[in-house]
Amino acid sequence: MLESLKEQFSAHVKNLQNQISQRMKDLDVQIDINEDNWSRLDHIGEDGGGGITRAFEGNIFENAGVNTSEIKGKINPEFAKKLQGDSDQLWATGISLIIHPFNPKIPTVHMNFRMINQGDKVWFGGGADLTPFYPYEEDFSYFHGVWKKACKPYGNYDHMKKTCDEYFVNAHRNNEMRGIGGIFFDHLNTGDLKKDFDMVVDLSNHFIESYFPIVENRMQEDFGQEDVDFQLHRRGRYVEFNLLHDRGTLFGLKTNGRTDSILISLPKRVMYSYKYAPEKGSVYEKMMENYFPKSW
């Protein structure tokens, strides 16, 4: 059954990648899409799988990456020990996505779902989290609401929400979160492979519903220079999280992953400033309160 589920997961993530790409094209008609089919060698120089990276640059979606990959083959034995299994044979397939919209009223979003098989161990990981720049709290409740609904049959929203709140944190910035969270899980293996598989596929199928209605609702909003300044400042915090703390990014770069596919997660324009503080009483000051764990 394992081999069949692996094939199904590969097919599922590619299908999801196409659905999401189509939805982006429908909204941002003139968007540029740069697709790269890349392949890799494994630790001993044999076929190690590869991936499909799709880089988007448009008017609504300033830059985005919607990627799938299927890694297989022998991995470095020292690195193998740091994973769950004790085999140096690894198979890992997943979809990962990051969307940085141009308009600061539309939130940035990240999503990733993956299935991993090392020797006789199999596990799943993933989640989705939102990084908004404007205090439209109804959007945050909507996003969390979709994930709450998605998780309902499995009774795991509270746990996955808390894990997400604890993961996407800039410890060096007074424990501010990079955004307003969502859900996150790792090393998922309940012992019932088919059940885990079905759940992860089901969750991942809620991504489109969780995000694109927010985009459609906000894409016509006006914005000013102050909104852009706050967005670019928060994008700076996003870069800090990804390069200093994100395990996925460091994992990828340290295992000779394809750098351009990994760092596609970085936003096009970013701004840093010394001792940034939002103006007292401004919407940005209000927004800052949302970057700490909260119930939506």
Radius of gyration over every alpha carbon of the chain, rounded to an integer in angstroms: 19
Beta bridge partners of 100: 63
Q: Cα separation of 272 and 86, whole Å?
A: 43
Whichever of 208 and 271 has its CB closer to a copy of itself, that residue is 271
Catalytic residue among 12, 43, 100, 110: 110
Closest distance of CB 32 from a copy of itself, Å: 10
Q: Is 110 a catalytic residue?
A: yes
Strand partners, 52: 37, 68
User: Does residue 264 belong to the site contacting a copy of itself (CB under 8 A)?
Assistant: yes
Strand partners, 74: 89
Residues 3-42 that bind a copy of itself (CB under 8 A): 34, 36
Q: What are the CA-CA distances from residue 242 to residues 55, 169, 179, 198 (Å)? A: 18, 10, 12, 29
Residue 166 C-beta-side C-alpha neighbours within 13 Å: 8
| 263 is an interface residue for a copy of itself by CB under 8 A | yes
Instruction: Please report whether residue 175 would count as binding a copy of itself according to CB under 8 A.
Output: no
Footprint of a copy of itself on residues 55-114 (CB under 8 A)?
55, 57, 63, 65
Tell me the three state secondary structure of residue 18: helix
> Which among 75-83, 125-133, 223-231, 234-242 is the span making contact with a copy of itself, rule CB under 8 A?
234-242
Angle at 264 between CA 70 and CA 90, to 5 degrees: 20
Does residue 172 interact with a copy of itself by CB under 8 A?
yes
Judge contact between 170 and 164, C-beta under 8 A: no
Q: Which is nearer to a copy of itself, 1 or 277 (CB)?
A: 277
Residue 271 binds to a copy of itself (criterion: CB under 8 A): yes
Which residues contact a copy of itself (rule: CB under 8 A)?
A: 34, 36, 55, 57, 63, 65, 172-173, 236, 239-240, 243-244, 250, 253, 259-260, 263-264, 266-275
Write out the catalytic residue numbers. 110
